Amino acid sequence: MIETPYLLFLGDAPDMLAAKVAQGIKDWRPEYALGQLRLDGCKADMGLPDMTLAEAKAAGIKTVVIGVANRGGVISQMWKKVLVEALEEGFDLASGLHNLLRDEADLAAVAKATGRTLHDVRIPSVKYPIANGEKRSGKRMLAVGTDCSVGKMYTALCMEKEMRERGMKASFRATGQTGILITGGGVPLDAVIADFMAGSIEYLTPDNDPDHWDLIEGQGSLFHVSYSGVTLALVHGGQPDALVICHEPTRAHMRGLPGYQLPSIEAVRDVALTLARVANPACVAVGVSVNTQHMSDPEAKAYLAEVEARVGLPTTDPFRYGAAKLVDALEGI
């Protein structure tokens, strides 16, 4: 686990989009996001207090999180200067960059000398078990998608927020880099060795209170030929009680696969349920989550109504219109 609270390092972000990790932390764990650190030329702003490292220390911050993508596949000297200072001041560092912090000789040396931790969340830090398939206590929801990057993480986070507001016991369970940085822990599933994928998800979602829900971040799609194996490990390792089907209706083709059309919501529901019921015969599909960001408000509402009527499941865009419908459906289980 990454120690909180965080100082969000925005570096010299060229725009807000480059800082989407910081944005995710600020949106979903505002209690962790006490300040931001921006370098000359930074065009991103989370609306948080700008802090020096000394101010961050005084505020009780434990970890400097790299909340911005780097450019050109290198960690610049300008960044390095601040990151080395942060280690020297006693902060841990956390990063989801492809370039690992541990592979930078200077950062590794200073971390070792100061006894600080470099969290490279793209790489598993745990030796996961092989899945045993045994029934666990507590309840689990898994977001499954018609495609990659259709809003599975946001769906689970929106549901967690709504459930906590209702006083329900709920934990978002991160399976990707951004989710891990947002919550401080999780499984970087795409980097796990094949034999241990399902076991890593069992490890992530252990026995819990009977009325506790794990809200598991989905990855890939059973219909995305590059990553479908990762998705099936989530379906079987997560042994979900409930599936929410996630969809983005304006895609011309599967992400990164020009020759592949998106499957229907119904096709994903049917094959996902068939496979999920191997691990949990009681699994049901409870709702549909649509990412309507590329639609106007009237278009989005008409589309949601059409899907709800056609598929016969509560349908919403939880980020735009709230997750109440989806959580209502969970409450019935």
Choose the binding region for a second copy from 20-28, 106-114, 176-184, 234-242 (rule: CB under 8 A): 234-242
Q: How far apart are CA 89 and CA 54, in angstroms?
A: 8
Distance from C-alpha of 38 to C-alpha of 82, rounded to nearest angstrom: 10
Of 39, 82, 225, 284, the one binding a second copy by CB under 8 A: 225
Q: How far is the CB of 294 from a second copy (least distance, A)?
A: 24
Residue 52 binds a second copy, judged by CB under 8 A: no
Query: Applying CB under 8 A, does 121 fall inside the site for a second copy?
Result: no
CA gap 162, 316 in Å, rounded: 14
- Given candidates 72, 135, 210, 298, which one binds a second copy under the rule CB under 8 A? 135
Neighbour tally for 82: CB within 10 Å: 14
- Rounded least distance, CB 99 to a second copy, Å: 16
Comparison of 76 and 137: residue with beta carbon closer to a second copy: 137
Rule CB under 8 A: say whether 278 interacts with a second copy: yes
Among 24, 35, 145, 199, binds a second copy (CB under 8 A): 199
CA distances from 1 to 30, 62, 99, 310 (A): 18, 12, 20, 43
Rule CB under 8 A: say whether 117 interacts with a second copy: no
Select the residue interacting with a second copy from 99, 114, 149, 226 (CB under 8 A): 226
Q: Smallest distance from the beta carbon of 229 to a second copy, in angstroms?
A: 4
Cβ atoms of 314 and 288 closer than 8 Å: yes
The two three-digit tokens of residue 269, written as one number: 């529901």
Q: In what order do the strands lie in the sheet with 63-66?
A: 33-38, 6-11, 63-66, 92-95, 118-120
Contact criterion met (CB below 8 Å) for 234 and 142: yes
**Which positions from 61 to 100 touch a second copy by CB under 8 A, shown as an x/- string?**
----------------------------------------
SS3 at position 100: coil
Contact between 67 and 93 under an 8 Å Cβ cutoff? The reply is no
Under the binding rule (CB under 8 A), the answer on residue 227 touching a second copy is yes
Selection from 273, 294, 270, 291 nearest residue 282 by Cα: 273
- Per CB under 8 A, the segment of 31-39, 52-60, 89-97, 230-238 that binds a second copy is 230-238
**Residue 98, phi then psi, degrees to nearest 5:** -60, -40
Does residue number 257 form part of the binding site for a second copy (CB under 8 A)?
Answer: yes
The interface region with a second copy, picked from 30-38, 145-153, 236-244, 318-326 by CB under 8 A, is: 236-244
Q: Is 274 in the site for a second copy (CB under 8 A)?
A: yes
282 binds a second copy (CB under 8 A): no
Nearest to 249 by CA among 301, 314, 178, 309: 301
Say if residues 63 and 7 touch (Cβ distance below 8 Å): yes
| Binding flag, residue 209, a second copy (CB under 8 A) | no
Nearer to a second copy, 84 or 201 (CB): 201
Q: Is 193 in the site for a second copy (CB under 8 A)?
A: yes
Write the burial class of residue 62 (CB in 10 Å: 0-12 exposed, 13-18 middle, 19+ buried).
middle
Q: Which is nearer to a second copy, 75 or 197 (CB)?
A: 197
- Of 39-47, 146-154, 217-225, 309-317, the window that binds a second copy (rule: CB under 8 A) is 217-225
Give me the helix-helix angle, 265-279 and 297-311, nearest 10°: 50
Q: What is the CA radius of gyration of the chain?
A: 20
State the residues that interact with a second copy by CB under 8 A: 130-135, 189-195, 197-199, 222-223, 225-233, 235-237, 239, 256-257, 259-260, 263, 271, 274-275, 278-279
